[in-house]
Amino acid sequence: MAIHIRRRELLAALGGAAAWPLAGLAIPLSLVADLANAQSYPTRPITLIVAFPPGANIDIIARFLTDHLSSTLGQTVILDHRPGGAGGTVGTKSVADADPDGYTLLLSPPGALVVAPALYKHLGYDPATSFAPIATLFTSPQLLAVNPAVPANSMQELVAYAKANPGKIAFASPGYGTQPHLLGEMLRLQTGVDIVHVPYKGPAQAITDLLAGQVQMYFETIALLLPHVEAGKLKALAVADAERSPHLPAAPTTTESGFPKLQATYWSGVLAPNGTPTSVIRKLNETINAILQSPELQATLDKLNARPKIGSPQDFAAFMTAERQKWTDVVTRAGIKVE
């Protein structure tokens, strides 16, 4: 079968005419096939697997993304929730095992990709080699909030109080190995404070006990804590980021508070099984980045106290590598073990 490729598309894919001799041009067959994939993809519905249950804030982004991918690509994109396992490892593994043809994609938060590898020996996949990163979607910084009864109005005052009262400050988390847990451990490692970890089965229970004073502090996304801060039921001490949040302009960053290494953002991104054609990865990356720049999605993200993160597949891969190294270091130094 003859494959027809426009000359300008071929030269663009090859990096420009100067890189290849035009006379007697020998085109690798793999490149011809890759370009053919880019021109025809997709020819049937795509399944986007999300490694968390429906109903969470991130589900709003997932539905927006599938709707706009469907209209842009001209094929239905099916949203398939597959929760289960630690940090969403069940749905993540199903994508690692899928055919690398661009028709099974993964939308995942950080847990299964950068935290679980440090905590579990047998995941059934390797986050560093089992996937082809496509695009990061958004980031949302964590906020440190305390119960109003805690006699501290800054991180410095909180650390001083914790040092003067060892074992009396309990910090909540939505479970072992979650970002809020690891941030609490990071604070303990950086300051030497004696604080007690209290894990819950999700953020709702953690916030309930924080409001009641059963625990004294909690790292969580701004979206979940902001209503309680605005109502005066919690005190916002610091945003775990390098920049202040426009939704909490009075809250300093951890850098401003004297803890520049205490930073963490909740994020999500899209990946494909390793071996997916690079032309398909590139097309999906360009499509997703265009969606992220739409005013409608930016308004949706703003309501969730998140911001779009536009970049290349290589940017996403480098970001995940740095995240894995950071959280692996915390898990190792804190001696965290999960059965």
- Per residue in 212-231, pLDDT (tens digit) is 999 999 999 999 999 999 99
Task: Choose between 10 and 211: higher pLDDT.
Answer: 211
CATH match of 141-239 with 3.90.800.10 = no
pLDDT at residue 5 in the model? 45
Residue 263, SS3?
coil
298 alpha-carbon distance from chain centroid: 17
How many Å is the maximal CA-CA distance in the chain?
Answer: 78
141-239 and 46-140+266-334 share a CATH fold: yes
312-314-315 Cα angle (round to 5): 65
pLDDT at residue 120 in the model? 87
Where are the domains positioned within the chain?
A: 46-140+266-334, 141-239
Task: Choose between 169 and 304: higher pLDDT.
Answer: 169
Separation CA 88–CA 75 (nearest Å): 27
pLDDT digits (tens, 9 = 90+) for 106-148: 999 898 899 988 888 888 999 999 999 999 999 999 999 999 9
Contact 93, 125 (CB under 8 A): yes
In this prediction the pTM is: 0.84
Prior bond of 45 cis (ω within 30°) = no
CATH, range 46-140+266-334: 3.40.190.150
User: Residue 115 — left, alpha, or beta (φ > 0 → left; ψ -120 to 50 → alpha)?
Assistant: alpha
